[in-house]
Structure 1
Amino acid sequence: MSQLSETELRHVAGFQKNEITEHHIYKNLAKKVDGVKNRRVFAQISEDELRHYHVWKKYTGREVEPDRFKIWLYSMIALLFGFTFAVKLMEGKEQNAQQEYERVANMGVEIDGLIKDEEEHEQALIAVLDEERLQYTGSIVLGLNDALVELTGALAGLTFALQNTRLVALTAVITGFAAALSMASSEYLSTKTEAGVKSPVKASIYTGVAYIIAVAVLIVPYLVLNDIYLSLALAFAGAFVVIALFNFYVSVAQGVPFRSRFLEMAGLIVAVSGISFLAGLGIRYFFGVEV
């Protein structure tokens, strides 16, 4: 085994730390996920990461402690957003590590095998991961998209028609709550007629909750501020943030493009809100309403 330079030794120690950290992350996931197949895959990958750790240890000649914060962070991400999102987020970062590994591929045949293992991990995960909440992504999209497009349009119209933050907030709350119930019941009936594995009740809950969350984000500025136009601007900002966060989640968990989906939803909001904005202004002057 050739003598490593100080720079190479630091790189290898970093790889070693990363492997032992991911060993513990996958080991934790193997204990918590549903499904025998998922548990077996996570357990196998955990063992592979431990084996990789010992390969790097031959070069450093010392033990390395795992990154406790990273273990906690990905455990929390898995708890809050699901193990699919957590693992694919981690595997996405691991692709950068593979490029680093290739720089030291000349260290021996064993390193080549290690690199191949890393490349196979993601494919194995994609093939077996099956998480219930991802089956209801369509229901969440329905709730979020409908709430954001419909309510931003309504807020734009109401802002010019009513000119009062409290009246706009009150009207939007009533409209939003009624619409959330309507969307949830429609999703229940729609899912019930489909021949699939989704539960109509769960689908309706996902849709309704997503709708209510979007409504809350949009209405908050009108409840805490007195400036009607600043409230509208912040409502729009909140809508774009929600769209960005949700589409980032979907792009990671399902491997779909982020940019096109984000621009599509954002474009719908801008178009509908612009039309409603002009309609509210026109209606106000046409009927001579002064509030």
Structure 2
Amino acid sequence: MNQLPETDLRFITRFQKNEITEHHIYKNLARRVEGVKNRRIFAQISEDELRHYNVWKKFTGKDVEPDRFRIWLFSMIAMLFGFTFAVKIMEGGEQNAQMEYERVASMGSEIRGLIEDEEEHEQALIAVLDEERLQYTGSIVLGLNDALVELTGALAGLTFALQNTQLVALTAMITGFAAALSMASSEYLSTKAEPGTKNPLKASIYTGVAYLIAVAVLIVPYLFLANIYLSLALAFGGALVVIALFNFYVSVAKSVPFKNRFLEMAGLIVVVSGISFLAGLGIRYFFGIEV
């Protein structure tokens, strides 16, 4: 085989390192994922990545160590956020790799085979991914959206009505906990009344936990800051961050648009909070409440 230019050699060595790294990542996922079919597909992809590595090795003539940090990182992502999210993030990298492979496709038929394999990987993964937690996305949305919209509005009203961070935090904490139990109970009854694949108890837990997480994010500023308006601003910012993170997760895991979902939820918070601002201000002055 002809000696490759140094630039091409570095380029191909990077491909080789990427393939052996992804071989280990998919191998780890194959051991952890539930379902025989899922494990078989991930194991097959892992073997394909190893075969790709050996193809590139023919050009470089040397072994390359995998990226240990990347292996650890994606193993942690899969453990914390689910294998669906981890694989979709991986597939984003696969698409970039496909475009880079096109630059060296003329080097031989084996390279063209690599490109076709990468495309098959994506299709196989999309067909097989069916993670339990994604079945309860609706329950999580219910808990987060209800908590963020209702409690942000309540905090806005309480901020102007009470003018005391500790009182606002205490009131919001009690209200939020009671509302979380109420929402969890409602989701349990609702899911139970509609026969399907979801477990009513799990659906209620997802809803309740999501609600409590949102409550915690919103009231934390009031617990540590004395400035009532700064606390409200930070609570509002925290709500937007939660919405952004959750919608990013859903957009990646379920391949749905991020922008529209984010703007819809954020818009609801802005409208409800604005109305509550005015309501709290009006109630305070109408009843002459001074705290």
TM-score scaled by length of structure 1: 0.99
1:112-159 per-residue CA deviation (whole Å, 9 max, x = no partner) reads 010110111111001011111111000000000000000000000100
1:84-107 per-residue CA deviation (whole Å, 9 max, x = no partner) reads 000111111221111111111111
Whole-angstrom CA distance in 2 between matches of 1:213 and 1:258: 21
Equivalent position of 1:210 in the other structure: 210
**Structure 1 runs (4+) greater than 3 angstroms displaced:** none
In the alignment, structure 1 residue 129 sits paired with structure 2 residue 135:
no
Equivalent position of 2:221 in the other structure: 221
Equivalent position of 1:46 in the other structure: 46
3-state secondary structure, aligned to 2:119: helix
Matches for 1:74-85 after TM superposition, within 5 Å: 74-85=74-85
Whole-angstrom CA distance in 2 between matches of 1:183 and 1:3: 67
Equivalent position of 1:261 in the other structure: 261
CA positional deviation for 1:3 = 3.0
Whole-angstrom CA distance in 2 between matches of 1:3 and 1:251: 44
Whole-angstrom CA distance in 2 between matches of 1:18 and 1:194: 46
Unaligned runs of 5+ in 2: none
Whole-angstrom CA distance in 2 between matches of 1:255 and 1:277: 36
Whole-angstrom CA distance in 1 between matches of 2:97 and 2:166: 52
Whole-angstrom CA distance in 1 between matches of 2:246 and 2:97: 26
What value does the CA root-mean-square deviation take over the aligned residues? 0.6
Equivalent position of 2:7 in the other structure: 7
Equivalent position of 1:111 in the other structure: 111
3-state secondary structure, aligned to 1:289: coil
TM-score scaled by length of structure 2: 0.99
Matches for 1:88-167 after TM superposition, within 5 Å: 88-167=88-167
The more displaced of 68-77 and 91-100 is 91-100
1:38-59 per-residue CA deviation (whole Å, 9 max, x = no partner) reads 0000000000000000000000
In the alignment, structure 1 residue 237 sits paired with structure 2 residue 224:
no
CA positional deviation for 1:180 = 0.2
1:240-283 per-residue CA deviation (whole Å, 9 max, x = no partner) reads 11001000100010000011111111010001000000110011
In the alignment, structure 1 residue 65 sits paired with structure 2 residue 71:
no
Whole-angstrom CA distance in 2 between matches of 1:124 and 1:15: 22
Whole-angstrom CA distance in 2 between matches of 1:2 and 1:229: 70
Equivalent position of 1:169 in the other structure: 169
Whole-angstrom CA distance in 2 between matches of 1:217 and 1:99: 41
**Identity percentage of aligned residues:** 85
Whole-angstrom CA distance in 2 between matches of 1:127 and 1:64: 32
2:172 maps to a residue whose letter is A
Whole-angstrom CA distance in 2 between matches of 1:122 and 1:197: 26
Unaligned runs of 5+ in 1: none
